[in-house]
Chain A
Amino acid sequence: MSQRYALIGAKCKSCGAVNLPLGVNCLKCGKVLEYEPVKLSGRGKIYCFTTISRGGAPPEFATQQKLVGSYPVAVVELDEGPKMVAQMIDCKAEQLRIGLEVESTFRRIYEDDGMIRYGTKFRPARSS
């Protein structure tokens, strides 16, 4: 869980590819993953995106969809290589485009059995 919270990737000792999430085999070279943990910068670019509207949200996001309406979701390619699916915040759907620079932020994702699931969302990167 701390790896997911803090965006810690696994750098393959064979080929150097950064894996996130951690699997049994390296996503790039396919060898059994022996790795070093690396803290990811949280910066990346939008690889592709979509908008989730009424009726389209999975059950855990249904309340969110009702409360705030349609919300954007993107596949983000992180600077270190791995791709991840996450919600986009602090922006309107019209602002999104492939290649937009983004930065990670720590937010509530959904609730489940009374527990709060925290994790990563992205927002457009600050210029600094």
Chain B
Amino acid sequence: MQAGIVGCGVYIPRLRIKREEYQRVWGYSSRWVEEKSVADFDEDSITMGVEAASNALRNAKVDVSEIDAVYFASTSPPYAEKQNASTIAAALGCRSATATADITSSTKSGASALLSCLDFVGSGRGRAGLAVAADCPLSAPTGALEHQLGAAGAAMIVGAERVGGLVEGSYSIVSESLGERFRRDGQSSVTSVDLGPYYERALEGVVTSCVIGMMEKSHRSPKDYDWLVLQGLDDGKALELSKKLGFEEGKMARGMICAKIGDVGAASPLLGLSKVLESALPKEVGILCSYGAGGGADALSLAVEGEMKPANGYGYEDYLARKEYIDYTTYLKVRKTLGGS
């Protein structure tokens, strides 16, 4: 059975903080984040995942009773033990005969959840599944990664019928490197060790070989593709690598999300892909490559077979436009860095 993407949905929280606020408070800021989204005090990766999944069902006009699996990806699940996907399935009103799993601990978890869902449907074990990714990673206020960390969710419905995006194949790379981005058990802050050039070489090698491997497996070259979504690395690095790989800048721009939202961890591969798929036209072909710092990368090659337009008011651009700016003190409060119990 050939499984593919039936529809997608996104969620971006309303709160935003501008780069100027970081400049005012700290005197420095991340080079590539103009503003970023912030989860409100009562939002977390579960609530953002529920919103994104509800939007995917609404956009694709799929009834929740057709869903046989819910896979949830996040690097910031509210529970380290007690399955988080169950809360999402319950909030969506899924049937009790639903397969669920949490997939965590890497920024490429969103892509892993999508691949698992494709396997679930492709092997004939279920009719349709939801791959839900949402993330609001935390870091210490002085941490090197802190300014870039945003918050968002995205969800894909995977099925064998009414497929809008056929997944032609996948290609994965595993790699082992230390220190680029990590969070030990029991810690709440993502950290990194300052070894810039070392990571750049590791990241470049992994992402480049993953995209090249995917293209070779699909017997295609950059000119055959209409777009490339590179997630799990900053916009500047993604543009640089895509150029080296032979992709024109316009093909890369369609799936870029970081400048206005920030680094949304495990949500980034599905959010970048949703952004492209919402306006993709039949016969387009594209690649998603999702990088997980210190672990590897997963790529998927997709052929668009049908339009996947969002319901009016529920698209990526709608959420991007719906915003309220907060100052840095409010930011610390809603993230519970200040005054939270």
Interaction A to B = yes
Question: How far, in whole Å, are A12 and B242 apart by their CA atoms in the complex?
Answer: 60
Query: Which B residues from 302 to 336 make CB contacts under 8 A with A?
Result: 311-314, 333-334, 336
Q: Determine if A52 is an interface residue (Cβ-Cβ < 8 Å).
A: no
Contact A126 B43, CB 8 Å, known A2-B93, A90-B14, A118-B91: no
Q: Using a CB-CB cutoff of 8 Å, which residues 102-128 of chain A contact chain B?
A: 105-109, 111, 116, 118, 121, 126-128
Contact A106:B78 (CB < 8 A) given known A89-B40, A127-B313:
no
Q: How far apart are the CA atoms of A66 and B43 in the complex, in Å?
A: 17
B interface majority secondary structure: loop
Q: List 24 A-B contacts (CB under 8 A).
A: A2-B90, A2-B93, A5-B90, A5-B91, A6-B90, A6-B93, A8-B93, A63-B341, A67-B41, A67-B336, A67-B340, A89-B40, A89-B42, A90-B14, A105-B47, A106-B50, A106-B51, A106-B91, A107-B47, A108-B43, A108-B44, A118-B87, A127-B313, A128-B314
Known contacts A5-B91, A89-B42; A66/B339 CB under 8 A: yes
B51/A105 in contact, CB under 8 A: yes
B42: chain A residues at CB < 8 Å are 64, 89, 107-109, 121
Q: Which residues of B contact A6 (CB under 8 A)?
A: 90-93
Main secondary structure of the interface of A (DSSP, over half): mixed
Number of interchain pairs (Cβ within 8 Å): 62
B interface list, Cβ under 8 A from A: 14, 40-44, 46-47, 50-51, 54, 78-79, 87, 90-93, 311-314, 333-334, 336, 339-341
- Most chain B beta-carbon contacts within 10 A, residue among A1, A39, A64, A105: A105
Considering only residues 35-76 of chain A, those with a C-beta below 8 Å from chain B are 39, 63-64, 66-68
